[in-house]
Amino acid sequence: MIKLAPKWAYHYDEFWTAIKVRNLWLIKLRYLFVAALILFFIIGEFLFEFDFSEKQAIILFIIVISILCYNIILDKIRKYVGCTPGKFNSLHLSLIQSTLDLGALLVLVYYTGIIHSPLYYFFVFHTIIGSLILPVKVIYFLSTICLFIFNSLILLQHYSFIPTHNINGIVMLPQNHSINYDLVFIIIFNITILFSIYLANYIASQLYKREQQLRNSLEKLKDTEIAKQKYIMGIVHEIKTPISAVISLLDILLGNYLGPIDVKIEDKLKRAKSRSDEAINMINNVLRISKLKLLDLTTVEDIAVEEIIKSALERFADKAAERHIDFSTQDNRKYKYHFYGDRLLIDLAFSNIVNNSIKYIGFEGHINIEIYESKEFITIIFEDDGIGIPKEDLEKVTEQFFRASNTNKNQTEGSGMGLSLVKEIIEKHKGHLHIDSPSRIKTEKRPGTVVIIELPLNSKKKKSEITFEDHAEIF
């Protein structure tokens, strides 16, 4: 089997994809060419009063039928042609197409006047197309043979060794050229064809190489990002160890295991414990984001969204009760379909949203959760009556370490990683995240925030057997 693919393209998937696409181009263009030939004959005969001879009409008919037949065959074959170097592949199919086309074009040009034919310009067009697909040596070889035959036909016609088949109405007979005219035509036409091949092939090869270089650069960036995330995970683990030890000591002190402590000291220790817990939470978020960037979803299961919401609200029930914050939920779904995803990651996303709402409400507020469904998505809406997000910050709140400008005024502690993590998780699940402010449950003093999540439903939908009403005591 002739090896047509350059070595740099053996394992370059984009190259083979481009070849397949361009093979399809050729097939579609060939259908257009057939239609154009038919129109050329009909319009020329009846509108421009071209006088096609009987032989020309028969040859034109045979060529049209032949091109149409082999094009249909090639269209069927291309679906089963692979991209394995060393075997029959898409490049071999391109070579067959170009060979058949150039052969058909030579016959057409001969029977429409050769040097007087209006169709010989298609040689330039076809060699440019071929140069975008085939290796330069192959297209040069095909074009050289084609030019040799075309040049020979011009000279043989000039010296009357072969009959002339001019189209009456395009060429006014008799039409005689000097040998110098024919030679100048041959030289200019040959240079045009060969230079067109060089230029088109050079541009195509440079584009392929640049694309491959870009792909390699992206791979290197990906490897660098992985190395960075691994480094971050290692450093964060080292930081987490002493903080965990501090928390353990604080728990011992607050548990009065070393004896009773003063009320003022106890208050200070509780604040230290609270800050230490926030530090551990921030470290865990950093670790989770790093794992998200390093790994694809490893656990995909059938999830009932109301179970995840129930779990998240249970987790923060005590914290919300201490701050006099109420939860309410509304399940507006009819069928309660499930979706596929990583249960732990979705739970983490929902927990971050609920935790954010509690944090930025402060004291005495309300969190409302609603669920809707459509044919393709399940929609979860989280609303609160907290401090809200300024308009100018809405587009930035999902960036890592970004905190809205009004959080500092309220002296609310945070790392600016919660919503960034939520965005990473939702995008991993092919979903959509939208954040806005104010919310529908806003108050006069606090505009509140609304977080809308859309997650794609299962291809095989499954109804939930659990309803919010079954867990009314939680809400």
392: left (phi over 0), alpha (psi -120 to 50) or beta: alpha
Which pLDDT does position 215 carry in this prediction? 79
Region 199-217: mean pLDDT is 82
Compare 263 and 453 and report the one with higher pLDDT: 453
206 CB contacts (<8 Å, ≥6 apart)? none
Q: How high is the mean pLDDT of the chain?
A: 83
Which pLDDT does position 66 carry in this prediction? 94
What pLDDT digit, counting tens, does each position of 344-371 carry? 788 889 988 998 899 889 889 999 999 9
Q: In the structure, what pLDDT confidence band is assigned to residue 378 with cuts at 50, 70 and 90?
A: very high
Which pLDDT does position 291 carry in this prediction? 67
Contact 411, 387 (CB under 8 A): no
